[in-house]
Structure 1
């Protein structure tokens, strides 16, 4: 694969970034992708390792050694064919996937992994530039109708696969634009929404119908989940109108922080803050948008959503940004002999952190402080884990100034009114109960109703959502037709 001695001759080359001072002035993508000759060198580093663990490290099982080799040989047309054979939307994963494939790369045992994500990014961008990404409408229609609820990555993947199998697919989205959490949860500076728009156009040409502003079931009273619905359709109506229903909503119920002062003005979920900026970027007019300019911002939660809040706050012009993580600071380098080829625990510094952020680890918030109903600060204490318990460390209490507090501690489950409307059984975490093996086939306890993506597995990666959407589509096709040629 690639050049036999390439991994000995060439170093890993990272994608570049626009300077911080330039990128903070807008919400555009700032990653500088590899040029064709640079991607060729990265493809040359792929070893003939015999057992390509990267394939299994990738949730969609991308055939990574093959497209690395094709890029090395500059056969870009076949490279995109191989990439599309397992991944409907490599422009999404090539931008926002954390690349578990690279953690599993054999070269990563004692060296820097092959830059698989950057190669994937280069392949799909070139494919769009060359006009190789075209609609693939079915040659034969089945006459079967499928409803897909939710237009995030799992819903889009399921819809595209089912449409290509010849079914009439309608995607229902409660917001005014297609994309789900890709649209409203991922900042534009990480992935511009034009990438979603051109996939929607491709899918429409393949026969997929998109209905926006349509809520399935009912929204819980007082919910702060993003919702632009102007029409409500009952679960009963959907089951009556379609031969199969696939529930692909996101895991949108944010984990809350039950401490004194939570009710103060200026304390918000990340998913109240981030979607608003994406809507403004898209041209929407919002009243009372949550803004961070001139404010001391504290982000509670050390994951990707928290990092997105950091980047957005810096673009607003925040006076300061501090991010809390309750877990201790991980090591800068993982213990590769111990963890490879699995996803390692190590310190990860995002581009948003590099733009300006103080990171505090092993910090727990005891109370949110306020004056006249508005947040003014946080009272914290350092913590440590002992015998599986989180314990406070005496004498480490501290007070932080804060004008805006953003809660980014993950998501606990989907908006369960959708599941309740269909009568779908839930697992102990509040997700749809549906198995993934061949016999279970993403089926719920309700006849002809399937579930996939975050709604079934809980909060996860975009690449896992695509995998589940593809596999659910295969299960639905087999359910409708008795057999299927869609890949699992």
Structure 2
């Protein structure tokens, strides 16, 4: 396996395209073509039907990449930059792309040899000339190529780069052109709309324009000499690519900090070494005049990528180059300044975080053509261009009349406030499923995997979209008996994993759940499945919070009568007694109690605490302990008394919290701390609430949503402070700094010598409640070092293994511990998961059928694929189904995000879509690993096609290659050789089916024997 991609011969690419179009499969995995309407813009003497396309990057490195981009709607192509240092001499370590959010890379020019790059661009040009006419995608002259070169004048004048430039100015003398023409003329029978005269008339003038890309540190005199050479000697329309360092270090640092990107590390050396703004303006004026005197066009390309220090968590190297949404505000400010200084007359081409949400505004302000890269590296891939094209088509053709300075100025100011360009206060959680990707049948819904109860999210989202709310709620109730509570305050780990968030924002799964509960309640209650059989055994549940309520439901559904004992007057636990009404009202708990009671559970309030032995003596065969974690966590201060957060919130909920004074300090960073801070803000007389945390917001355990609500309501966040004492209306703290990561992955807070005083009349501590371990030990149950009972995977307490020697072994029989009582403070949905495990274990012990229904997701792959694009969040939860990508039906992330189309989708004999990796088209950029929902790298872990036996031998991947007699197949490290019949006796049927599908659907027989150069 090599990290060098192999150019595919023209004839094979054309055969692949023609076969795909014949089968109505799109082109290179891009299913939906854009067909231009005949209108076109004039640019540098050429026509472009849409004013955008892929930037000089991974999406213009190979012919198939350019073809895929064209098919989706691109009509302007900035070809990957070439320089004298090329091919294997170019020092690019792999992986080389990190597109998790804003994008970074460590490569800066084509990884091919310059001669190969020339061949790819000529092939791509020729293919577009053919398919534009053959498939009526647009005018054959409705697109243009723009070459990109670097990095110094001597290199550009070298024979290698000069041949490249001249070859694109007139391709007739190139070997690639001769091959394209010869193949086409020999295969005219495969075309309906192409004849010999059309082929002979194809223009060999591939490029009449060029973009100069210069390295950071290139002096202004060198830039001007190169641009002058390109204008005077090469007679090319010329754009120079400017660096965002034109803004100066102070502006860039301040802006990045303001937008939440303070973690980006960079110093001022590039800003000092690069072209200075004061030098750039007169240079651009001189070059503009020179271009005019030559009858050529001139402009600037904004901007190059932005160099920052590399943390080496994904890619190697000392420096990496930032692009994407973080670059957009910087690029916009460069555009604003230049447009102002040139009165809107300077032609500006754009590259820096453009996507479907901002491209129309850029175009409307007179900034075009626009090139994109980061957005194409996200799920959806090239198909996102179709959305750009639709945005443009809706706006219509507007000739260039100058850059609108007023629009750019307003856009720049607005972008600095837009959350799209701001980093959230907390980093996105790990989205990966902590298992390796299966070799086949890998499509999976990350939202379900992120949910502790594995809720069937896409299914109920789809049913809700069809307004079948009763059926949707039935799906929810199969695994979740508390839809009103979880539909209101669930921590929604499902949403943290949602693939839609790579496009815009997560599907509002929690809101849809609540909608289904509200609208489907009556219907679903009538249709609740009855137990198949009843048991005479009874179960006692200690604790009437979410865990206890859920246990009663699952037990009753399985046929076991449950009695819930709650020590307080109300049920719902923390939800009812602690969480403020502004987050959840009593009616949510009441409705869920109604659901739980449907299976005959008995609820006893104000129940005295009884031991496990006493409950068994009372006739309960099984005991489930769900009494929560109510023991106050301790914060050791040298001086002063504080208020526990549970005490405060319980009093607040009753309206009995009393006076707090003007200044309140809340110590902690979890959801309960956010509740306390927001509640304190609502208490009469409180002027300011400060939230004290010893790390930064990024490391707070609170959900991002709760953190942002607290910020919105005016809570003052005081980060990197450790409380030490509370006296005389002052909370005394020590300033902290962040050290190296600890076992949790969070950077360890380290004390400094700096003291900080925070005004505080009341100090509330929210440092985590604890389990009442005394209850367990009093009942003879073993606890661990943290005071938590020792349980098995089904929540049962083992009769052996670590219990006190004098305890009766029988005392632990049929005892289960669930929820916060087992875990410590946790979430409602984790409590439900525990309850289900315990109830299922009890049902199995009684020989009963475990309740529940197996759900099979029956979504439509075609319907899901159509939704791949940026979609504005709807106003109503009922419309969220339009945004759900139904990943368990079709995922294809790895295929979407591969610039080279090296991960392909085929359909096996059973009609299931499968992924196969094409080794010779892969350069191991690593982007598929970023977006695969599994903890895997598809380019290493998916079944792989190898063009030669040598490539097969050079890899450890499971996969196959054609051999002299049949195939070579490697599966889990074992190599098999033989024909189909021989291999059928040795290999799983799904592997042979995948090989057959790949051979038939991807024209791979034409690839056999292609050697890497």
Normalising by the smaller structure, the TM-score range is: 0.7 to 0.9
Summarize the Cα distance change of 1:133–1:276 in structure 2 as closer, same or farther, 3 Å threshold: farther
> Which residue in 2 is equivalent to 1:238?
615
Counterpart selection for 1:425 from 776, 782, 786: 782
Tell whether 2:792 aligns with 1:435.
yes
> Which residue in 1 is equivalent to 2:647?
272
SS of equivalent to 1:394? strand
Compute the displacement of 1:148 (Å).
Answer: 0.3
In the TM superposition, what are the counterparts of 1:172-183 in structure 2 within 5 Å?
172-183=565-576
Report if aligned partners of 2:487, 2:511 keep a CA contact under 8 Å in 1: yes
> Which residue in 1 is equivalent to 2:707?
349
In the TM superposition, what are the counterparts of 1:133-172 in structure 2 within 5 Å?
133=525, 136=528, 138=531, 140-172=533-565
**What TM-score do you get using the length of structure 1 for normalisation?**
0.75
SS of equivalent to 1:392? strand
C-alpha separation between the residues in 2 aligned to 1:214 and 1:444?
27
Compute the displacement of 1:112 (Å).
Answer: 2.1
Compute the displacement of 1:394 (Å).
Answer: 2.3
Q: Greater Rg, structure 1 or structure 2?
A: 2
In the TM superposition, what are the counterparts of 1:247-262 in structure 2 within 5 Å?
247-262=625-640
Higher helix share: 2
Summarize the Cα distance change of 1:319–1:177 in structure 2 as closer, same or farther, 3 Å threshold: same
**What TM-score do you get using the length of structure 2 for normalisation?**
0.37
Summarize the Cα distance change of 1:135–1:250 in structure 2 as closer, same or farther, 3 Å threshold: farther
C-alpha separation between the residues in 1 aligned to 2:710 and 2:734?
25
C-alpha separation between the residues in 2 aligned to 1:215 and 1:350?
41
Compute the displacement of 1:369 (Å).
Answer: 1.1
C-alpha separation between the residues in 1 aligned to 2:841 and 2:517?
27
In the TM superposition, what are the counterparts of 1:38-437 in structure 2 within 5 Å?
50-128=443-521, 132-133=524-525, 136=528, 138=531, 140-216=533-609, 233-241=610-618, 242-262=620-640, 264=641, 267-280=642-655, 289-292=656-659, 294-317=661-684, 318-330=686-698, 349-370=707-728, 376-387=729-740, 388=742, 389-395=748-754, 397-411=755-769, 413-436=770-793
Compute the displacement of 1:418 (Å).
Answer: 2.0
Q: Output one character per residue of 1:392-440: Cα deviation in whole Å (capped at 9) or x when no partner.
A: 1223x121221111101112x311232123211112221111021xxx5
Summarize the Cα distance change of 1:135–1:148 in structure 2 as closer, same or farther, 3 Å threshold: farther
Summarize the Cα distance change of 1:294–1:403 in structure 2 as closer, same or farther, 3 Å threshold: closer
Q: Output one character per residue of 1:13-47: Cα deviation in whole Å (capped at 9) or x when no partner.
A: xxxxxxxxxxxxxxxxxxxxxxxxxxxxxxxxxxx
Compute the displacement of 1:139 (Å).
Answer: 6.7
C-alpha separation between the residues in 2 aligned to 1:312 and 1:211?
30
Report if aligned partners of 1:292, 1:404 keep a CA contact under 8 Å in 2: no
Report if aligned partners of 2:544, 2:627 keep a CA contact under 8 Å in 1: yes
Summarize the Cα distance change of 1:331–1:164 in structure 2 as closer, same or farther, 3 Å threshold: closer
Counterpart selection for 2:821 from 445, 452, 455: 455
Count residues in correspondence.
Answer: 398
Report if aligned partners of 2:725, 2:732 keep a CA contact under 8 Å in 1: yes
Q: Output one character per residue of 1:35-75: Cα deviation in whole Å (capped at 9) or x when no partner.
A: xxxxxxxxxxxxxx932111101111111111122122222
- The CA RMSD over aligned residues, in Å, is 2.9
Summarize the Cα distance change of 1:346–1:147 in structure 2 as closer, same or farther, 3 Å threshold: closer
Structure 2 residues not aligned, in runs of 5+? 1-30, 33-379, 388-441, 743-747, 800-811, 854-1013
Summarize the Cα distance change of 1:70–1:201 in structure 2 as closer, same or farther, 3 Å threshold: closer
Higher relative contact order (CA 8 A, sep 6+): 1
Structure 1 residues not aligned, in runs of 5+? 10-48, 217-232, 281-288, 333-342, 371-375
Summarize the Cα distance change of 1:79–1:346 in structure 2 as closer, same or farther, 3 Å threshold: closer
Compute the displacement of 1:453 (Å).
Answer: 0.9
Report if aligned partners of 1:249, 1:454 keep a CA contact under 8 Å in 2: yes
C-alpha separation between the residues in 2 aligned to 1:261 and 1:468?
40
Counterpart selection for 1:484 from 841, 845, 849: 849
Report if aligned partners of 1:330, 1:347 keep a CA contact under 8 Å in 2: no
In the TM superposition, what are the counterparts of 1:458-477 in structure 2 within 5 Å?
458-477=824-843
Report if aligned partners of 2:541, 2:562 keep a CA contact under 8 Å in 1: yes
> Which residue in 2 is equivalent to 1:36?
none
SS of equivalent to 1:443? coil
